[in-house]
Amino acid sequence: TSLFLDKLGYVMYRNNSTNEEKKILIGRSVYFLNYVSFSYDSRYLAFAAKMKRDDFRFSEDGVFVLYDLKEDKEIIRQDHGQDLYAVWMTMFSKDGNVAYYDSRSNAYIATKDSGYKKIEEIEGKSLLCFSPSGKYIAFSDQNYIDYTHHPNANWGHQPSGNIFIHSMNDVKTCLEHFNDFGDGIVGVVSRAGSVASAAFSCDERRLMAVGDDGVVVIRNLHIEDDEYICDYP
């Protein structure tokens, strides 16, 4: 499938084998469409957005939608009415679970086995990646302080170098925690000390993380050795 966005607050998708095009309503006051992802089998589409309720800096509204492309219907629509703030990322695991997180740094995971009716909330976490099998997930704890409540303070994106490894069997329990990003590379103007992205190795024994300043760190993991190293509350 191919993905487009028009000016009226819709996501438009196209079946590349038939050229059929359809639209999914985001909302009537979209400020940012932050992220769109497809499931591995191309049946589901998920998107994350920030809505413009009034003035940009005073708007906190977010929306997440999981859409069934085969049945042509919404499976999940979660928005500010369900205490959801601006949503920044969506991702699918290989086994069909879908995750997303909002600007308060609260992550959510809807499980395929429940027909996406069960949604786990993991407070204080932002998303990094699923492992290749979908058995593990890596979080950080980056968030966003809104202008409304902190106009004279350090509002905006709050970086962090923390990385947390969790198991999908008990997604609220941290197995490993580490932070490998320090003062950064001399002369590079960036948010040093902050993780930008991460990825598991194919055998899920290592994790590669990239800092905002370009530093790359590869760590051995011990998640299958019962050598859990989580010193974070």
Query: What digits encode the pLDDT tens for the residues 207-229?
Result: 999 988 888 999 999 887 655 56
User: What is the phi/psi pair of residue 189, to 5°?
Assistant: -85, 105
Can you give the pLDDT at residue 229?
60
Q: What is the pLDDT of residue 56?
A: 46
Whether 120 shows a pLDDT value over 90: the answer reads yes
Residue whose structure tokens are 């590349």: 16
pLDDT tens string 81-110: 777 788 899 999 999 999 999 988 899 999
DSSP 29-87: TEEEEEEEEE-TTS-EEEEEEEE-SSSGGG--BEEEEEEETTTTEEEEEEEGGGT-B-E
Give the pLDDT score at 162.
93
Burial 49-67 (b: 16+ CB within 10 A, else e): bbbeeeeeeebbbbbbbbb
Structure tokens at 48: 């994350």
Q: What is the DSSP letter of 113?
A: G
φ/ψ of residue 81, rounded to 5: -65, -25
First and final CA of the chain: distance in angstroms?
42
pLDDT at 184: 59
Question: Interior CA angle at 93 toward 192 and 4, to 5°?
Answer: 80
pTM: 0.86
